[in-house]
Structure 1
């Protein structure tokens, strides 16, 4: 259940509801009859269970209906919601199932401490395209999306943890459901306050996909359903760069490589280059948030590299082309700003070296890079934007990029124009930026995306209301991309990149 479900106006309700999930690849009438026949007596409930707890759903909210205006608003909650689909009786949980798999769907909710022992209603909803269903007892019934017609799964005295077994060894294929997505939302309310519902704003999504497996053993391209085992190789020297502090020397430039642990020979593989932040004075390729991104991309079928680069304190020596642009661009006389600018330009130079290494590596291993993307945070995002959209304006040879992911950065090498130097044929752009960022102003991302809208470039700006600077405060994996989306910011980024990278 999310904000849209609790809205009073039906038209607005359905409009928001349609954004919640992608439409199934079969008619809603077919799914309706199949779902009703499939889910007749498959649901049980208990306060305690010996089974392993399924994964936590990322975002939990409380929706409050104003008793006077009937308008909904969102509040935070300490309640927790868990749900997972399993094809091995709870030993592991998957996001995709084959239509012939025998599927268990387990869920549980942890109520707020002061709700334990209170009388309450528990709700379970299934959303499929434009069709909505509510679990009432042991049967899913059609639901029109209106609060007044919503019926509970159970009414009972709430325990600290309520466990619901929604599906038990169910096969979708024999019931006529061969492909599609099922989204499950769970929530509860107190009988004493039915104007407030506590719910999972991000649902359990179960994709029914022919051929889905727990783990891929052969490369079939990008597959967000069936993950690859990831192989990581650390501290690869991708090139060297000259530094002059503490002494003039050639400095080894390092990267970590993340690849699907399968044979890639003869394959076309998309690749992401991940660039760390640190104000161009510090930072590391092994920043946990970046490692997480690299592993997620590689598990989907990407080759990902996370790179280090020379930073300001090392006083890098630029090659002649970058030195010329640096001298044109950096006009300050403040030493710290001069050094920071030097760090910014060395990050760009070293990123191009990493891209060259990547192309050579692919050739040596016998596969080709099918598409390139850049992802960075803070200084790394600035570098990604500069390399992705700026350097080609100044005579630099840069490859074609399909996607750029900007975490709270800005495009900083626009010397000859008052507008961000991006064009409609360049990489699709997605950004996350906090409105209260004191380090790199949110207005910079707004300007870039306004320019992208103006020229028709595929783009999306995810706004973190009230957030500052950095991964922790922007909460990529436990806050929605926008209210009612049903996707976390991180999930939205992965989906956006997948679409962009696969675009011809």
Structure 2
């Protein structure tokens, strides 16, 4: 997504924005975790709107970063109990994070899904709506006692395969107007499902995230990645044709929508100046993550992700204004009346970052 914009940056006084992480978030410092299953939607009550929340046993910290992680399964199968989801969430919870493995709505008929691109868009946007509701669930809970001890300004999303596709599109599709109207009217599809925030509930809270983790995921249009978007880390095999490492139809099937993987997302991220990093497995296909910790490539991907996220955490010391600016995370967007909002064209808005910086921006078509 490309727009012209004008920016006015106010450098606010930064005292001790960051403090030491005290050994947290790098290594597995906790021996065990507790898993709690909840329904995150206040609209739907079925199993597709459940998530397993992982918290480290014996931890007294109540201001912890959160990662929501979504399973793969081609949008027709899979669940939060898949081994890669469990292993990922347990590993990061043992490092001090709060993590959640999240279910979402799936297409009921795999054959129909493969043959119908309108149904594919509809299914993906339902899944995005669900995960946005799950994000808002945590912010709603934060305002009502903070049961899980999260920092509601530091929420990351990620997943494998379809889960990575959800994460990327949730973060990088900023407005309904960014979506195509031809040959399929995707704007109308999204609007019929509740608009940019979706139909899965917990409205009134932000679904903003601080970063994106893509294990073998991709994006339908790399131009949706812009300079104001969230940091991206992705891991993929360069022989992947299920979610194409370059660009190609999903699963290598001509009737499935195009997805562009790591080889295309990261040049775009570099071109717009987005914080990003990628790990590529030469000669590897799509399924390296399926067996979780049993595959050394999966554990390597987890470590790579940990190293990417760690400098983004608010608890880290920044040694200079330059390093602070390079690690800034968008906390929220507010309008001229101080109301939290989403990015909007032709409207002056204030972008507030974790390093204390505020930018006044107006995007013009």
* TM superposition score normalised by structure 1: 0.45
1:439/1:353 CA distance change after superposition, 3 Å: same
1:152-163 equivalent positions in 2, closer than 5 A? none
Kindly indicate whether the alpha-carbon contact (under 8 Å) linking 2:114 and 2:120 is maintained by their aligned counterparts in 1: no
Distance (Å, rounded) in 2 between the aligned partners of 1:406 and 1:479: 17
In the other structure, the counterpart of 1:372 is 155
Distance (Å, rounded) in 2 between the aligned partners of 1:227 and 1:408: 28
Kindly indicate whether the alpha-carbon contact (under 8 Å) linking 2:79 and 2:103 is maintained by their aligned counterparts in 1: yes
Asked if residue 346 in structure 1 is aligned to residue 149 in structure 2, the reply is: no
In the other structure, the counterpart of 2:210 is 402
Task: Show CA shifts across 1:408-435 (max 9, x none).
Answer: 11112x4xxxx43122232211111111
1:477/1:451 CA distance change after superposition, 3 Å: farther
Asked if residue 499 in structure 1 is aligned to residue 295 in structure 2, the reply is: no
Distance (Å, rounded) in 2 between the aligned partners of 1:460 and 1:476: 22
Distance (Å, rounded) in 1 between the aligned partners of 2:100 and 2:297: 27
Kindly indicate whether the alpha-carbon contact (under 8 Å) linking 2:289 and 2:297 is maintained by their aligned counterparts in 1: no
For residue 339 of structure 1, report the CA deviation from its aligned partner: 3.2
1:477-496 equivalent positions in 2, closer than 5 A? 488-496=300-308
Distance (Å, rounded) in 1 between the aligned partners of 2:36 and 2:24: 23
1:299/1:438 CA distance change after superposition, 3 Å: same
Q: Which secondary structure does the structure 2 equivalent of 1:281 belong to? A: coil
1:407/1:428 CA distance change after superposition, 3 Å: same
Q: CA RMSD in A?
A: 3.3
Q: Which has the larger radius of gyration?
A: 1
1:353/1:227 CA distance change after superposition, 3 Å: same
For residue 391 of structure 1, report the CA deviation from its aligned partner: 3.7
Match of 1:235 among 37, 41, 50: 37
In the other structure, the counterpart of 1:459 is 276
Match of 2:173 among 384, 390, 394: 390
Instruction: Between the two structures, name the one with larger relative contact order (CA 8 Å, sep ≥ 6).
Output: 2
For residue 439 of structure 1, report the CA deviation from its aligned partner: 0.9
Distance (Å, rounded) in 1 between the aligned partners of 2:227 and 2:90: 30
Distance (Å, rounded) in 2 between the aligned partners of 1:470 and 1:353: 28
Task: Show CA shifts across 1:305-326 (max 9, x none).
Answer: 11111111089xxxxxxxxxxx
Task: Show CA shifts across 1:250-304 (max 9, x none).
Answer: 6341100001224657x32110010111111111111111111101111111111
For residue 392 of structure 1, report the CA deviation from its aligned partner: 4.4
In the other structure, the counterpart of 1:269 is 64
Structure 1: gaps spanning 5 or more residues: 1-218, 243-249, 316-331, 482-486
Match of 1:439 among 238, 242, 247: 242
1:480/1:304 CA distance change after superposition, 3 Å: closer
Asked if residue 287 in structure 1 is aligned to residue 87 in structure 2, the reply is: no
Distance (Å, rounded) in 2 between the aligned partners of 1:476 and 1:420: 34
Q: Which secondary structure does the structure 2 equivalent of 1:386 belong to? A: helix
Q: Which moved more, 1:470-479 or 1:290-299?
A: 470-479
Asked if residue 222 in structure 1 is aligned to residue 24 in structure 2, the reply is: yes
1:235/1:339 CA distance change after superposition, 3 Å: farther
Structure 2: gaps spanning 5 or more residues: 1-20, 178-194, 198-205, 247-259, 315-326, 328-354, 356-365
In the other structure, the counterpart of 1:200 is none
Distance (Å, rounded) in 2 between the aligned partners of 1:333 and 1:272: 29
Match of 1:471 among 264, 274, 288: 288
Q: Which secondary structure does the structure 2 equivalent of 1:442 belong to? A: coil
Distance (Å, rounded) in 1 between the aligned partners of 2:102 and 2:267: 30
Distance (Å, rounded) in 1 between the aligned partners of 2:109 and 2:43: 11
1:254/1:333 CA distance change after superposition, 3 Å: closer
Kindly indicate whether the alpha-carbon contact (under 8 Å) linking 2:132 and 2:207 is maintained by their aligned counterparts in 1: no
For residue 352 of structure 1, report the CA deviation from its aligned partner: 0.8
1:295/1:226 CA distance change after superposition, 3 Å: closer
Distance (Å, rounded) in 2 between the aligned partners of 1:492 and 1:500: 14
Q: Which secondary structure does the structure 2 equivalent of 1:279 belong to? A: coil
